[in-house]
Amino acid sequence: MDLRQFLLCLSLCTAFALSKPTEKKDRVHHEPQLSDKVHNDAQNFDYDHDAFLGAEEAKTFDQLTPEESKERLGKIVSKIDGDKDGFVTVDELKGWIKFAQKRWIHEDVERQWKGHDLNEDGLVSWEEYKNATYGYALDDPDPDDGFNYKQMMVRDERRFKMADKDGDLIATKEEFTAFLHPEEYDYMKDIVVQETMEDIDKNADGFIDLEEYIGDMYSHDGNADEPEWVKTEREQFVEFRDKNRDGKMDKEETKDWILPSDYDHAEAEARHLVYESDQNKDGKLTKEEIVDKYDLFVGSQATDFGEALVRHDEF
What value does the mean pLDDT take over residues 239-260? 96
pLDDT score recorded for residue 101: 86
Highest mean pLDDT among 72-86, 132-146, 219-233: 72-86
Is the distance from CB of 170 to CB of 121 less than 8 angstroms?
Answer: no
pLDDT score recorded for residue 15: 36
pLDDT score recorded for residue 144: 59
pLDDT score recorded for residue 140: 66
Instruction: Using the predicted structure, report yes or no on whether residue 198 has a pLDDT greater than 90.
Output: yes
Is the distance from CB of 286 to CB of 279 less than 8 angstroms?
Answer: no
What value does the mean pLDDT take over residues 137-166? 81
Q: Which long-range contacts (CB under 8 A, 24 or more apart) does 114-122 make?
A: 116/176, 122/173
- Range with the lowest mean pLDDT among 86-90, 97-101, 127-131? 97-101
By percentage, how much of the chain surpasses pLDDT 90?
Answer: 59
pLDDT score recorded for residue 30: 77
Query: Which of these, 223, 255, 249, lies nearest to 236 by C-alpha position?
Result: 249
pLDDT score recorded for residue 147: 63
Alpha carbon distance 242, 117 (integer Å): 43
Instruction: Using the predicted structure, report yes or no on whether residue 14 has a pLDDT greater than 70.
Output: no
Q: Could you report the per-residue pLDDT of 101-145, keeping only the tens digit for each?
A: 888 898 899 999 999 998 999 999 999 999 999 887 766 666 555
Q: Could you report the per-residue pLDDT of 37-64, keeping only the tens digit for each?
A: 889 998 899 899 989 988 777 667 777 7
pLDDT score recorded for residue 222: 63
The DSSP string of 78-132 is HHH-TT-SS-B-HHHHHHHHHHHHTHHHHHHHHHHHHHH-TT-SS-EEHHHHHHH
- Range with the lowest mean pLDDT among 63-72, 139-148, 229-238? 139-148
What value does the mean pLDDT take over residues 207-214? 96
pLDDT category of residue 220 using cuts at 50, 70 and 90: confident
| CA contacts within 13 A on the Cβ side of 275 | 7
- Range with the lowest mean pLDDT among 134-148, 256-270, 272-286? 134-148
Instruction: Using the predicted structure, report yes or no on whether residue 293 has a pLDDT greater than 90.
Output: yes
pLDDT score recorded for residue 143: 59
pLDDT category of residue 248 using cuts at 50, 70 and 90: very high
pLDDT score recorded for residue 146: 53
- Range with the lowest mean pLDDT among 1-15, 61-75, 116-130? 1-15
By percentage, how much of the chain surpasses pLDDT 70?
Answer: 82
What value does the mean pLDDT take over residues 63-73? 87
